Amino acid sequence: MNVLYSHIFPAYREYAELTDEARIDWLRRDRWISLPQAEAALRHLEDLVIYPPRGRMPCLLLFGATGMGKTEIVSRFSKLHAPQFDIRTGLSKMPVLLAQIPPEPSEEQFYTEVLTALNCVDLSRLSVRSMRAEARQLLAEVETKVLVLDEIDKMLAGTPRQQRVFLNTIRFLTNDLKIPIVCAGTEDARMAVLMDPNLADRFGAFELMPWRNDHALRQLLASFSGLLPLRRPSMLDTVEARQRVLALTQGVTGRIFRLIEAAAVTAIRDGREMLDAASFEANDVTLPLVSMFTSAGKRRTIGRATV
């Protein structure tokens, strides 16, 4: 019945039949998309889950520019290892614990975040010492295998002393509990972690690189044609389309996704029902966010070779 939309992957064809508004709504929803770098990062994370406890646990720093998909990756990782309730023991298991770095990088705030992620409520009367003890005990009880800290850059808002205390806290936890810690953040965060010689040699690094004009980008753009609920086949496998996408997004994953989303919404509204290089005209009024990035990007890259 859906052979009409043979350019779309079979599982996605039904969405092309929805009304315009429903298709636009569909486009705007969050969904995980399997990307080569994100999958590679996930494989590294998976490896840590099964790492046997030993003297020095390996840790991982997942770093890359804002919008490269770090939060998506660690959220996906924590969803793949969602908490499980063990009926036999009456205890929950939380193999992967995801916590945000607090805006104020103090030990107290840090343990507040960790305890909140462990579903503890009413922490107001606890001293830092008891919070630390409570966090250690609970992390062992729920058998956390990997602790993931997102937005580690926030640590940089602290004074040099606060930052040292904070890095010590991380070191203490990984030594004491013998669990790997994953930190996600930007290049600045990477520098901060590397400043601590004791942490630097146990943190492996995985960098999310911006997209370039290569095979992976071709595949990504080709896959949009099969995923988007547009009724005509898109023509994104052209040099021009790739160049425009890169020029408008600087190869940042989140910007590419927003650009494609905005262009697809336009294609539904104006009845064109497909995407090609012309869908990414920089002066198109429907791409305000992306255009903002572009004009800033253009100023910075004047004189440099284009992709």
Ligand X SMILES: Nc1ncnc2c1ncn2[C@@H]1O[C@H](COP(=O)(O)OP(=O)(O)O)[C@@H](O)[C@H]1O
Question: Does residue 71 interact with ligand X by CB under 6 A?
Answer: yes
Closest CA to 180 of 85, 81, 91: 81
- Of the pair 71, 213, the CB lying nearest ligand X is at 71
State the sign of the Cα–Cα–Cα–Cα dihedral 129, 133, 138, 143.
positive
Question: Does residue 301 interact with ligand X by CB under 6 A?
Answer: no
Question: Does residue 115 interact with ligand X by CB under 6 A?
Answer: no
Contacts with ligand X by CB under 6 A: the residue count is 15
Question: Does residue 33 interact with ligand X by CB under 6 A?
Answer: yes
- For 300, the enclosing helix (H) or strand (E) is helix 288-301
Question: Does residue 35 interact with ligand X by CB under 6 A?
Answer: yes
Residue from 28, 32, 104, 187 that binds ligand X (CB under 6 A)?
A: 32
- Of the pair 57, 228, the CB lying nearest ligand X is at 228
Residue from 203, 211, 257, 293 that binds ligand X (CB under 6 A)?
A: 257
Question: Does residue 100 interact with Mg ion by CB under 5 A?
Answer: no
Token pair of 234, please?
């898109």
Question: Does residue 79 interact with ligand X by CB under 6 A?
Answer: no
* Contact indicator for 213, 307 with CB cutoff of 8 Å: yes
Residue from 71, 243, 266, 286 that binds Mg ion (CB under 5 A)?
A: 71
Nearest 5°: the CA angle 209, 212, 216 is 90
User: What's the Cα-to-Cα distance from 293 to each of 24, 47, 68, 80, 245, rounded to whole Å?
Assistant: 23, 36, 15, 33, 12
Question: Does residue 81 interact with ligand X by CB under 6 A?
Answer: no
Half-sphere exposure of 70 (CA within 13 A, CB side): 29
- Of the pair 98, 236, the CB lying nearest Mg ion is at 98
Amino acid at 129: R
Token pair of 149, please?
């800290």
Q: List interacting residues with ligand X (CB under 6 A).
A: 32-33, 35, 38, 64, 66-72, 253-254, 257
